[in-house]
Amino acid sequence: MIARIKSEITLWRAIVAIIFVTGMYATYIRFFEGFRASTNLSDQMPWGLWVGLSTLCGIGLSAAGFGISAAVYLLGMERYRPILRASILISFLGYMTVCVGYLYEIGLPWRFWHPIVMWNHRSVLFDVCICIMTYTTVLTFEFAPAVIEKLPWKRFRETVLHFHHKILIGVVMAGVLLSSMHQSYLGGLYLIARGKVHPLWYSQYMHAMFYLSAIPAGLALTVMAIYLSMRSLNVRVDFSILSDCGRMIQLLLIVFAFFKVLDLTANQAWSYAFQRTSEAGYFWLEMLLFLAIPICLLSFESVRSNPERLYWSSAVVVAGFLVNRLNVSINSLQSAMGTHYVPKWTEMASSVLIIAAGVIAFRYAVIYLDILPKLPKKPEGFTRWMSNGGLAAQA
Partner 1 sequence: MTTKKAMLIDIKRCVGCLSCETACKQLHGFSTDPEPTLSDTAFTVVETRGDKFVRKICMHCEDPACASACPVGAISKSALGPVLYNADKCIGCRYCMLACPYSVPRYQWTKLAPFVKKCDMCSDRIKAGGQPACTEACPVQASVFGNRDELIAEAWRRIREDSSYVPHIYGVEEAGGASVFFVSDVPFEKLGFKAAPTGTQPVPTLTASALGDSPKVVIMGGTILSALYWITQRRREVALADAEEKAAITRMKDERSQP
Least distance between partner 1 and beta carbon 43 (Å): 5
125 binds partner 1 (CB under 8 A): yes
Q: ∠304-89-243 over CA atoms, to 5°?
A: 10
Min dist. Cβ of residue 259 to partner 1 (A): 16
Lay out the site mask for partner 1 across 133-172 (x = CB under 8 A, - = otherwise): ------------------------------------x---
Nearer to partner 1 among residue 6 and residue 36 (C-beta)? 36
Which listed range, 6-14, 42-50, 57-65, 134-142, lies at the site for partner 1 (CB under 8 A)? Answer: 42-50
**Under rule CB under 8 A, residue 122 binds partner 1:** yes
Q: Which stretch binds partner 1 (CB under 8 A): 107-115, 147-155, 158-166, 265-273?
A: 107-115
**To the nearest whole angstrom, how small is the minimum distance from the Cβ of residue 98 to partner 1?**
14
Q: 54, 125, 360, 43: which is closest to 225 by C-alpha?
A: 360
Residues β-bridged to residue 73: none
* Binding to partner 1 in span 291-350, by CB under 8 A: 337
Q: Residue 366 Cβ, how far from partner 1 at the closest point, in Å?
A: 29
Q: Which stretch binds partner 1 (CB under 8 A): 68-76, 254-262, 342-350, 365-373?
A: 68-76
Select the span of 119-127, 154-162, 293-301, 383-391 touching partner 1 (CB under 8 A): 119-127
Give the separation between CA 181 and CA 144, rounded to whole angstroms: 23
Count of CB atoms situated within 10 Å of the CB of 289: 20
Per-residue x/- marks for partner 1, 171-200, CB under 8 A? --x--xx--xx--xx--xxxxxxxxx----
Smallest separation, CB 145 to partner 1 (Å): 20
Choosing from 2, 10, 32, 162, the residue that interacts with partner 1 (CB under 8 A) is 32
Q: Which residue among 3, 107, 162, 166 contacts partner 1 (CB under 8 A)?
A: 107
From the list 320, 197, 156, the residue with the least C-alpha distance to 250 is 320
Instruction: Please report whether residue 126 would count as binding partner 1 according to CB under 8 A.
Output: yes
In the complex, the residues that contact partner 1 under the rule CB under 8 A are 32-36, 41-44, 46-47, 70, 73-76, 105-108, 111-112, 114-115, 118-129, 169, 173, 176-177, 180-181, 184-185, 188-196, 204, 207, 337
